[in-house]
Structure 1
Amino acid sequence: MTTSKKKSVLGDNIVSGGLNALFGQQGIEIDAKQSDTIKELAVEKIIANPFQPRHHFNEGALRELANSIQENGILQPIIVRLAHDQKDQYEILAGERRWRATQLAGNQTIPAVIREYDDATMMQAAVLENLQRENLSPIEEALAYKQMMDTLHLTQVQVAKRLGKARSVVANTVRLLTLPEPVQAWIQNGELSMGQGRTLLGLHNKRQILNVAKRVMQENMTVRQVERLVNEMNEAQSSPKQAPEISTEVKAVEMALATKLSTKIAITHNQRGAGKIEINYGSDQDLNRIMTVLGLDLDA
Structure 2
Amino acid sequence: MADVAPIEANESVAPRGELVVPIEDIAPNPDQPRRRFGDQDLTDLANSIREKGVIQPLIVRKWPNGDAKYQIVAGERRWRASQMAQLHELPVLVRDFSDTEVLEVAIIENIQRADLNPVEEAAGYRQLMDKFGHTQEKMAEALGKSRSHIANLLRLLNLPAEVQAFLVDGRLSAGHARALITTEDPVALARKVVEKGLSVRDTERLAKAESEPKPPRKARVVDDEKDADTRVLEQDLSANLGMKVQIAHKPEKETGSLTISYKSLDQLDELCRMLSLTPSGASI
Answer yes or no: same fold by TM over 0.5.
Answer: yes
Change (3 A) 1:28 1:111: closer
Selected match of 1:38 from 12, 15, 18: 18
Q: What letter matches 1:157 in structure 2?
A: E
Are the aligned partners of 1:28 and 1:125 in contact in 2 as well (CA < 8 Å)? no
Q: Could you tell me how far apart the structure 2 residues matched to 1:43 and 1:143 are?
A: 28
Which range moved further: 250-259 or 45-54?
Answer: 250-259
* 5+ residue gaps, structure 1: 1-26, 270-274
Question: 1:247, 1:90 → 2: CA distance?
Answer: 84
C-alpha contact 2:180 2:207 (8 A) present in aligned 1: yes
Question: 228-237 or 142-151, which moves further after superposition?
Answer: 228-237
Cα deviations across residues 136-176 of structure 1 (Å, max 9, x unaligned)? 01110110000000111011121111111111111110111
Residues 1:201 and 2:181 are matched in the alignment: yes
Per the TM alignment, residue 73 of structure 1 is displaced from its structure 2 partner at its CA by: 1.7
Match of 2:39 among 59, 64, 73: 59
Q: Quick one: which amino acid aligns to residue 243 of structure 1?
A: A
2:268 aligned with 1:283, yes or no? yes
The answer as to whether partners of 2:2 and 2:96 remain within 8 angstroms in 1 is no
Q: Distance in 1 between the 2:227 and 2:82 partners?
A: 83
Which residue is equivalent to 1:81? Answer: 61
Q: Is the 8 Å Cα contact of residues 254 and 266 (structure 1) preserved in structure 2?
A: no
Q: Is the 8 A contact 1:93 1:126 kept in 2?
A: yes
With the length of structure 2 as denominator, give the TM-score of the two structures. 0.79
Determine whether 1:216 maps to 2:201.
no
Contact 1:41 1:112 in 2 (8 A): yes
User: Is the aligned partner of 1:91 residue 2:53?
Assistant: no
Deviation at 1:90, TM superposition (A): 0.6
Which protein, 1 or 2, shows the higher relative CO under an 8 Å CA cutoff with sep ≥ 6? Answer: 1
Q: Residue type of the partner of 1:261?
A: L
Please state how far the C-alpha of 1:58 moved relative to its aligned partner.
0.9
Displacement after TM superposition at 1:277 (Å):
5.8
* Identical aligned residues as a percent: 38
TM-score, scaled to structure 1: 0.75
- The answer to whether the aligner puts 1:243 opposite 2:223 as a matched pair is no
Distance 1:192 1:72, change over 3 A: same
Query: Is residue 118–residue 168 contact of structure 2 (8 Å, CA) maintained in 1?
Result: yes
Q: SS at the partner of 1:79?
A: strand
SS of residue paired to 1:37:
coil
The answer to whether the 8 A contact 2:27-2:68 is kept is no
Instruction: Give the aligned length.
Output: 258
Equivalent positions of 1:1-300 (< 5 A) are: 37-86=17-66, 89-203=69-183, 205=184, 208-237=185-214, 239-246=215-222, 248-250=224-226, 255-262=231-238, 263-265=243-245, 278-281=259-262, 282-287=267-272, 289=274
Task: For 1:277 and 1:192, locate their aligned partners in 2 and report how far apart those are by CA, in whole Å.
Answer: 55
Which stretch has the larger CA shift, 45-54 or 227-236? 227-236
